[in-house]
């Protein structure tokens, strides 16, 4: 059944990764698959069941489709949503559009589910590849030395981890930013917050209430209501066994930016008192809810430190609004691009040894920066479209209210993209022609026409043809 796992040639590049979120774990997985040595340092002693719904879009699913399907696809399928589409309604419960789900695609799967369930699959896959984990170690200092070409971190307990590269994948409140920028960058309020909840449907009466059972009785569903500068999304998961909702609303208060700030269900009910009774029925069944403040940060001037041995990745480099549905996916893309840049720089005989790491990190930033900025913008655009819905226009063109799925975003193949652009980016970094923005940002052509670019085989233990049925 299992095929032997191919051994990638070791590159000798030692990558210290701070943070074991999706960005850090992907960087570790992709680095290991490409022959680098990945060491993770994470402040949490053990992962808790924090968070609720998270989405991995097809552009990130493409990267995961090259990982061992027995340890990824087979494990994720039972814990992720499977529904026929997304029903969009006004606040009174009248349907304004039904957006059919994309057909399943094994080369570009998407996954929506509880963050903790999906995160566990990533973590276990990284462990199976031999990634070294140092848990319960809070990183307090970042240092680097141009002369020796090394970077290192210090933890609260005084331990030092040294490598050729340090990756700050430490989330929205990153400490690594200070080294990179030379100053503390301050978050600002986005003016919005999200109440969120996830709970068992049966235990909380969702399955028996005539107002709510439609969300779970025939498997998973996905429904949204749009109100004045506010929206509510309800999604069920695991065949209707579990249910979650998120309610994004205007809020200028100074709540802490944290995944563990408690909210009050009564406050949500107050805000939606004149909405479709089904909204109140679902929300009232929640045992508790979280209140997540959405903060913004202006795009950082750079993600790479002065000597080029430390970089930022994921939310540490670029926090996302949830309406982009891309925060996790862009962190996953970052991890894959960084690992690929390290490989290509390592193999490029025109780059002097002392320049290989800085060149790889600068290429990583160059190939990611504009794309990420464009993807961040989609979150604001969708929020504004939903929160200031012009029903006359939507009535004439219901498609206009759909959740956008543009090719440049969701069909992107980040690894092929790096391999295709490597020559241009390497030339630009040494004074050659500047890559035009349209080759890097929104509106860029889909990657399908570059599908013939060869990728090195991924070491997997179970060939795809030996697995059970496709995703749905
Ligand atoms: C507990 C938690 C729950 C979340 N729940 C959801 C959710 O339900 N839905 C959703 O859309 N998004 C959620 N997110 C955010 C989401 O995971 C990210 O926006 C996205 O996946 C990008 O991931 P990231 O790896 O860049 O950052 P994160 O996922 O935030 O990971 C950062 C990691 O760095 C670690 N870390 C931070 N500081 C240090 C330090 N000084 N030393 C060592 N380690 C450090 C953190 O403990 C964390 O594991 C959650 C994040 C966290 C941390």
Taking each helix axis from N to C end, the angle separating 356-387 and 414-429, rounded to the nearest 10 degrees, works out to 120
Nearest-atom number in ligand 1 for the CA of 20 is 49
Distance, in Å, from the CA atom of 124 to the CA atom of 116, rounded to the nearest integer, reads: 12
Scanning the structure block, which residue is given the tokens 């000597």? 307
Distance, in Å, from the CA atom of 70 to the CA atom of 75, rounded to the nearest integer, reads: 7
| Ligand 1 center from residue 171 Cα (angstroms) | 5
| Ligand 1 center from residue 22 Cα (angstroms) | 7
**How many C-beta atoms lie closer than 10 Å to residue 391's C-beta?**
12
**How many C-beta atoms lie closer than 10 Å to residue 412's C-beta?**
23
Identified catalytic residue from 196, 368, 416, 419: 196
Same domain, 135 and 230: no
Identify whether the C-beta of residue 216 lies closer than 8 Å to the C-beta of residue 201.
yes
Same domain, 259 and 178: no
pLDDT level of residue 4 (50, 70, 90 thresholds): very low
Whether the pLDDT of residue 1 is over 50: the answer is no
Instruction: Give the dihedral of Cα atoms 443, 59, 96, 211; nearest 10 deg.
Output: -160
Same domain, 275 and 345: no
CB 42 near ligand 1, within 6 Å: yes
Same domain, 303 and 272: no
pLDDT level of residue 464 (50, 70, 90 thresholds): low
CATH no. for residue 111? 3.50.50.60
196: annotated active-site residue = yes
Q: Which two tokens stand for residue 24?
A: 């850090």
Backbone dihedral angles phi then psi of residue 377, each to the nearest 5 degrees: -60, -35
According to DSSP, the β-strands at 139-145 and 150-155 are antiparallel
Nearest-atom number in ligand 1 for the CA of 155 is 42
Same domain, 269 and 333: no
Identify whether the C-beta of residue 166 lies closer than 8 Å to the C-beta of residue 16.
yes
Same domain, 454 and 315: yes
Q: Is residue 119 part of a domain?
A: yes
Same domain, 155 and 22: yes
CB 113 near ligand 1, within 6 Å: no
CATH no. for residue 244? 3.30.9.30
Q: Is residue 154 part of a domain?
A: yes
Q: What is the pLDDT of residues 29-43, one digit of tens each?
A: 999 999 999 999 999
pLDDT level of residue 401 (50, 70, 90 thresholds): confident
Q: What is the pLDDT of residues 262-282, one digit of tens each?
A: 999 999 999 999 999 999 999
Which candidate, 39, 34, 124, 106, places its Cα nearest to that of 459? 34
| Ligand 1 center from residue 161 Cα (angstroms) | 21
Same domain, 362 and 393: yes
Q: What is the pLDDT of residues 47-99, one digit of tens each?
A: 987 788 999 999 999 999 999 999 999 999 999 999 999 999 999 999 999 99
CB 317 near ligand 1, within 6 Å: no
Q: What is the pLDDT of residues 123-174, one digit of tens each?
A: 999 999 999 999 999 999 999 998 999 999 999 999 999 999 999 999 988 9
Burial class (CB in 10 A: 0-12, 13-18, 19+), 110: buried
Backbone dihedral angles phi then psi of residue 340, each to the nearest 5 degrees: -70, -40
Nearest-atom number in ligand 1 for the CA of 322 is 11
- Please state the pTM of the whole predicted model: 0.93
Q: What pLDDT score was predicted for residue 322?
A: 74
State how many domains the chain has: 2
Write out the residue range of the structural domain in which residue 142 sits: 14-81+103-186+298-466
Q: Is residue 4 part of a domain?
A: no
Q: Is residue 96 part of a domain?
A: no
Mean pLDDT of 99-121: 93
Same domain, 343 and 322: yes
| Ligand 1 center from residue 135 Cα (angstroms) | 14
Same domain, 340 and 373: yes
Same domain, 163 and 125: yes
């Amino acid at each position: 059944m299992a095929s032997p796992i191919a051994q990638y040639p070791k590159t000798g590049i030692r990558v210290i990764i701070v943070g074991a979120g999706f960005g850090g774990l992907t960087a570790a997985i992709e680095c290991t698959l490409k022959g680098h040595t990945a060491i993770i340092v994470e402040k949490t002693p053990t992962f808790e069941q924090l968070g609720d719904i998270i989405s991995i879009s097809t552009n990130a699913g493409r990267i995961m489709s090259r990982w061992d399907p027995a340890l990824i696809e087979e494990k994720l399928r039972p814990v992720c949503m499977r529904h026929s589409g997304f029903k969009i309604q006004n606040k009174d419960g009248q349907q304004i559009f039904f957006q059919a789900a994309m057909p399943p695609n094994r080369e570009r799967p998407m996954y929506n589910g509880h963050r903790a369930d999906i995160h566990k699959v990533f973590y276990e896959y990284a462990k199976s590849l031999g990634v070294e984990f140092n848990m319960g170690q809070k990183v307090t200092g970042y240092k680097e030395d141009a002369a020796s070409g090394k970077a290192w971190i210090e933890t609260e307990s005084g331990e030092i981890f040294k490598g050729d590269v340090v990756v700050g994948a430490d989330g929205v409140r990153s400490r690594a930013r200070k080294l990179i920028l030379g100053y503390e960058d301050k978050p600002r309020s986005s003016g919005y917050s999200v109440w969120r909840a996830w709970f068992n449907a049966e235990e909380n009466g969702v399955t028996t209430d005539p107002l709510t059972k439609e969300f779970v009785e025939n498997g998973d569903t996905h429904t949204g209501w749009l109100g004045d500068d506010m929206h509510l999304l309800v999604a069920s998961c695991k065949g209707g066994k579990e249910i979650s909702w998120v309610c994004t609303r205007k809020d200028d208060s100074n709540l802490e930016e944290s995944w563990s700030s408690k909210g009050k269900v009564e406050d949500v009910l107050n805000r939606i008192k004149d909405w479709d009774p089904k909204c109140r029925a679902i929300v009232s069944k929640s045992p508790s809810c979280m209140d997540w403040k959405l903060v913004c940060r202006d795009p950082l001037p750079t993600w790479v430190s002065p000597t080029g041995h430390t970089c930022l990745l994921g939310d540490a480099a670029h926090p996302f609004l949830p309406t982009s549905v891309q925060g996790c996916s862009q962190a996953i893309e970052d991890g894959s691009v960084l690992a690929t840049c390290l490989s290509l720089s390592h193999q490029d005989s025109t780059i002097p040894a002392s320049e290989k790491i800085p060149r790889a990190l600068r290429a990583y930033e160059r190939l990611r920066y504009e794309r990420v900025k464009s993807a961040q913008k989609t979150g604001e655009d969708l929020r504004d479209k939903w929160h200031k819905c012009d029903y006359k226009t939507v009535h004439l063109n219901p498609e206009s209210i759909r959740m956008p799925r543009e090719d440049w975003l969701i069909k992107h193949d980040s690894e092929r993209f790096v391999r295709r652009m490597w020559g241009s980016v390497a030339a630009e970094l040494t004074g050659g022609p500047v890559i035009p923005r349209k080759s890097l940002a929104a509106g860029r052509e889909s990657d399908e026409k570059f599908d013939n670019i060869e990728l090195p085989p991924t070491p997997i233990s179970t060939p795809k043809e030996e697995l059970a049925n496709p995703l749905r």
